[in-house]
Amino acid sequence: MASANENPHDEITKEALNEVEEAKNIILFKPDGTAYGDRHTARAQPNQRLVEAFGIDNAFTSIDTDWRRMFIKDTTTKMKAATKIQEKNDESKGDWRDLRSSAIDALKEFLSQPGDKKSLTDMAQFVTLKVSLGFLFDDAAKAMKHPDSFKDIQYIGAKINTIWIESKNESGKRPQWSDEKKLHKALLSVTTLPPVTMPGWWAKNDASNIDPLDPKKNPMNFLLPAYETMWRVVMRCVLEVLYRNNPSDRVQWKSVLSKYFDALKDADAMDKGIFWERSQIGITMIDIVKEALRLYPPSRHIHRIYNDKPYSADIERLHRNALLGSNDPLTFRPDRWLQIGSDLRKQVFNNVPGARKKLKTEEQRLGFMPFAFHCAADNRETRAFGMKMIALLVATLCDGLDGKWTLDKADELPPDGEALCTNREAYGGLLLKKTS
Cα 147 to its chain centre, rounded Å, is 28
CATH code assigned at 429: 1.10.630
Give the full edge-to-edge strand order of the sheet including 431-434: 117-119, 431-434, 405-408
Report the alpha-carbon distance of residue 278 to residue 256 in Å, rounded. 8
Report the alpha-carbon distance of residue 151 to residue 170 in Å, rounded. 31
Mean pLDDT value across residues 27-37: 95
Q: At 346, give phi and psi (nearest 5°).
A: -60, -40
- Asked if the structure places residue 104 within a domain, the reply is yes
- Asked if the structure places residue 6 within a domain, the reply is no
Report the alpha-carbon distance of residue 40 to residue 60 in Å, rounded. 8
Indicate the pLDDT class of residue 1, thresholds 50, 70 and 90.
very low
- Asked if the structure places residue 253 within a domain, the reply is yes
Neighbours of 326 (CB within 10 A): 13
- Asked if the structure places residue 3 within a domain, the reply is no
Q: What is the pTM of this model?
A: 0.94
Strand partners, 278: none
CB within 8 Å of 174: residues ≥ 6 apart: 49, 52, 53, 166, 167
- Asked if the structure places residue 5 within a domain, the reply is no
Report the alpha-carbon distance of residue 69 to residue 276 in Å, rounded. 31
Mean pLDDT value across residues 215-223: 98
Report the alpha-carbon distance of residue 232 to residue 330 in Å, rounded. 17
Percent of the chain scoring above 70 in pLDDT = 94
Instruction: Judge whether 53 and 166 are in contact, CB under 8 Å.
Output: yes
CA distances from 317 to 15, 294, 419 (A): 13, 10, 12
> What pLDDT shows up at residue 245?
84
Each residue's pLDDT tens digit, 302-351: 999 999 999 999 999 999 999 999 999 999 999 999 999 999 999 999 99
Percent of the chain scoring above 90 in pLDDT = 86
- Asked if the structure places residue 297 within a domain, the reply is yes
Could you tell me which of 135, 320, 128, 154 has the C-alpha nearest to residue 229? Answer: 128
DSSP-derived secondary structure for 365-403: HTT--BTBS--GGGSTTTTSHHHHHHHHHHHHHHHHHTT
- Asked if the structure places residue 184 within a domain, the reply is yes
**How many structural domains comprise the chain?**
1
Containing structural domain, residue 21: 11-434
- Asked if the structure places residue 279 within a domain, the reply is yes
> What pLDDT shows up at residue 6?
54
Report the alpha-carbon distance of residue 35 to residue 27 in Å, rounded. 11
DSSP-derived secondary structure for 58-105: STTT---HHHHHHHHHHHHHHHHHHTTHHHH-TT-----HHHHHHHHH
Instruction: Judge whether 275 and 413 are in contact, CB under 8 Å.
Output: no
Indicate the pLDDT class of residue 275, thresholds 50, 70 and 90.
very high
Each residue's pLDDT tens digit, 99-122: 999 999 999 999 999 999 999 999
Could you tell me which of 417, 398, 229, 242 has the C-alpha nearest to residue 333? Answer: 417
Instruction: Classify strands 117-119 and 309-314 as parallel, antiparallel or unpaired.
Output: unpaired
DSSP-derived secondary structure for 199-257: TTS--B-S-TT--TTSTTT-THHHHIIIIITTHHHHHHHHHHHHHSS-HHHHHHHHHHH
> What pLDDT shows up at residue 88?
61
CB within 8 Å of 242: residues ≥ 6 apart: 250, 254, 398, 401, 402, 407
Could you tell me which of 291, 284, 288, 300 has the C-alpha nearest to residue 329? Answer: 291
Alpha-carbon dihedral 205, 207, 208, 210, rounded to 10 degrees: -150
> What pLDDT shows up at residue 91?
78
Whether pLDDT at 414 is above 90: yes
